[in-house]
Amino acid sequence: MAKRTKGSKRIAGRGERVAVVKTFKMFVGGAFVRSESGHTLPCTDASGAHVANVARASRKDLRDAVGAARGALGGWSKRSAFNRGQIAFRIAEMLEDRRSMVEARLVDVVGLDPDDAAAEVSSAVDRAFWYAGWCDKFAQVLGGVNPVASPYFDFTLPEPVGVVFAAPSRRSPLVGLVTAIACAIAAGNTCIVVVEPKHALVAVDFAEVLATSDVPGGVVNVLTGHRDELVPHVGSHYGIDGVAWYGAADAAFATLERLAADSVKRVHRLDDRGAASWRREHGKSLAWLERHVEWKTAWHPIGT
């Protein structure tokens, strides 16, 4: 009888090892969790073949993610901007370290050719580094001292919006996701992203990068499912302070805007372009980061 290796499992009479099938979970509060409903969605590759099942986020899952994000907001926003930048740099480093795994996913599931997959990962790493570098600099560039005709100093400074819900680009599997997250957390916000089945496995792979990147639990929460199903709950949830919507102004976005007006939250729709554009300069702008801050003006008497 052939020697059985540790950890292997064989089919009786055939001597073949059964591969361990990965269970794809969502990332909430720093932990990988299943949907509370137990519902899943099929994920297919570019040819339409079934690859895996992913969790189908429910209203309760969204509430759990909001709770985790609100719990992490105080600690994250009060960290020094330099420290947030260090953690953001670590995200880029860990994504670079796992690039072969992510490239394989982009080829096998999304259907990119190997060169495009390599370009997608390289651009995502560069994008994470770019926003990490701005963590401790954007306040000085965007804020400033205001000239006033009185014996006061007058400063305008950016502050984080709070908990941001981000609907990443449906066109760009990885760079769009990294951009949506990096824009939010660089400004001191915590965030929730919902990724649909077409790119869900890439998002879960990136969640594993986050889990090994010193990011405090709850700062970034990754849900998988249909974002249009969650839109009514996002718009009416008073625990969400801002929305970054990447894509067309469709019926779901109109519903979101209407409900967000009742709960007085900021809603920004950002231009959504092709994947090649995302890999170049699209999404690298302080104007995008500025959409995730509020402005505070402070007065201080001169000479006291």
Q: Which domains does the chain have, with CATH numbers?
A: 27-301 (3.40.605.10)
> pLDDT tens digits for 231-241?
999 999 999 99
| Of 11 and 191, more confident | 191
pLDDT at 288: 87
Pairing of strands 50-55, 144-145: unpaired
Task: Indicate the range of 22-36, 151-165, 225-239 predicted with least confidence.
Answer: 151-165
Out of 32-36, 141-145, 292-296, give the one with best mean pLDDT: 32-36
**What confidence score (pLDDT) does residue 1 get?**
41
pLDDT-derived band at 304, boundaries 50, 70, 90: low
Q: Which of 21-25, 40-44, 60-64, 168-172 has the highest mean pLDDT?
A: 60-64
**Is the pLDDT assigned to residue 276 strictly greater than 70?**
no
Residue type, 104: A
- The model's pLDDT over 166-203, given as tens digits with 9 standing for 90+, comes to 999 888 889 999 999 999 999 999 999 999 999 999 99
pLDDT band at 4 (very low <50, low <70, confident <90, very high): very low
pTM: 0.87
Instruction: Report d(CA 27, CA 219) in Å as an integer.
Output: 11
Can you give the pLDDT at residue 8?
Answer: 45
Check residue 5 and give its pLDDT.
43
